[in-house]
Structure 1
Amino acid sequence: MAETITAVSEVPENSSYLFSVEDAFTNEREAIIVPCEDDPGVEAWINDCPHEPQKLDRGSGAAMRDGEIICPKHGSMFDACEGGCGNGPAAGMSLLSVDVEVADSDVVLVDNDYEFLKTGGLDDDDSGPSSTSPLSF
């Protein structure tokens, strides 16, 4: 079943939109949506450098330049549309894709290998601020 992740207009022009998914083995993973010049105008990738465990988007958006996603650890650059890397320690490797489509100006998850969990990263706490006060309301 296709599930809406976000509106296309919410994907930053030169960065990434972070969301979380779960695979068929109940492994929770972070993924990113990035702008792409090819149709449908965005692509989605698992939020990991294939060279070694390293988040491309650490919570404030992935660094991008000239249509490439930059690994913050070693500077390898991945084509935002194709996922491949032609330089640095990750040369010859590719990002893991997450299949998305654009429908009615929304980015929709259509990858049968993943289930949408939430917007944001796995460590993002969306329960609000915590309190250490002994008082309850």
Structure 2
Amino acid sequence: MAAGTRLAALDDVPPESTLLVTLRNAAGEEVEFVLVRVGGGDVAAWRNVCPHWTDVRFDAGDGATVRNDELVCKKHGATFDCDSGYCDFGPPEGATLDAADVAVADGAVHLVDDDYDVVRVGESERATGADADRGRSTNPGERLGF
């Protein structure tokens, strides 16, 4: 079994979407990450914000779009390689997503990053009301969400 804290069963991470997790950093701040499947049966954990507009979440509680092994920003269509987090298309082209270290063992995904503690798995408490809609629109003109 992997050292660290169990986050979810591997089967809970959808093959063409994401699973939202909230972690706490050393400063006590809650930080959202998305778990995404990568090659060879592994999983990566990427920070749940687009580096172009950091108020835009990939997963607002309903799963992010994953297409051709790329995480897609719903706001402006930027694509990020699921394995490396590298943006190869869109406004943040050349940027790399922030990661948390996870490992797959015994059919489960485990947090193995000493910089974070697990807060929750699944929809965030902030994904209610008007904020729940932020990042869901595919209209590039709706950046502010109102």
TM-score, normalisation: structure 1: 0.85
CA displacement 1:100-129 (0-9 Å, x = unmatched): 00121110000111111111233268xxxx
Structure 2: distance between partners of 1:124 and 1:17 = 16
Q: How does 1:1-137 map to 2 (within 5 A)?
A: 2-37=4-39, 39=40, 41-53=42-54, 54-123=56-125
The answer for the alignment partner of 2:138 in structure 1 is none
Structure 2: distance between partners of 1:34 and 1:87 = 19
Identity level (%): 37
Aligned-partner SS, 1:18? strand
Residue pair 1:30, 1:121 contacting (<8 A) in 2 also: no
Task: Give the AA of the match of 1:97.
Answer: A
TM-score, normalisation: structure 2: 0.80
Residue pair 2:42, 2:103 contacting (<8 A) in 1 also: no
Aligned-partner SS, 1:86? strand
Aligned-partner SS, 1:61? coil
Structure 2: distance between partners of 1:42 and 1:68 = 13
Task: Give the AA of the match of 2:13.
Answer: V
Task: Give the AA of the match of 1:10.
Answer: D
Residue pair 2:61, 2:124 contacting (<8 A) in 1 also: no
Task: Give the AA of the match of 2:106.
Answer: D
Structure 2: distance between partners of 1:14 and 1:122 = 20
CA displacement 1:42-95 (0-9 Å, x = unmatched): 111111111112100011100110000000111100000000001110101011
Aligned-partner SS, 1:90? coil
Task: Give the AA of the match of 1:44.
Answer: A
**Structure 2: runs of 5 or more not aligned:** 128-146
Structure 2: distance between partners of 1:64 and 1:19 = 17
Structure 2: distance between partners of 1:92 and 1:72 = 18
> Structure 1 stretches (4+) deviating beyond 3 angstroms?
none
**Cα RMSD over matched residues?**
1.5
Q: Could you tell me how far 1:34 is from its partner in structure 2?
A: 0.3
Moved more, 73-82 or 116-125: 116-125
The number of aligned residues is 124
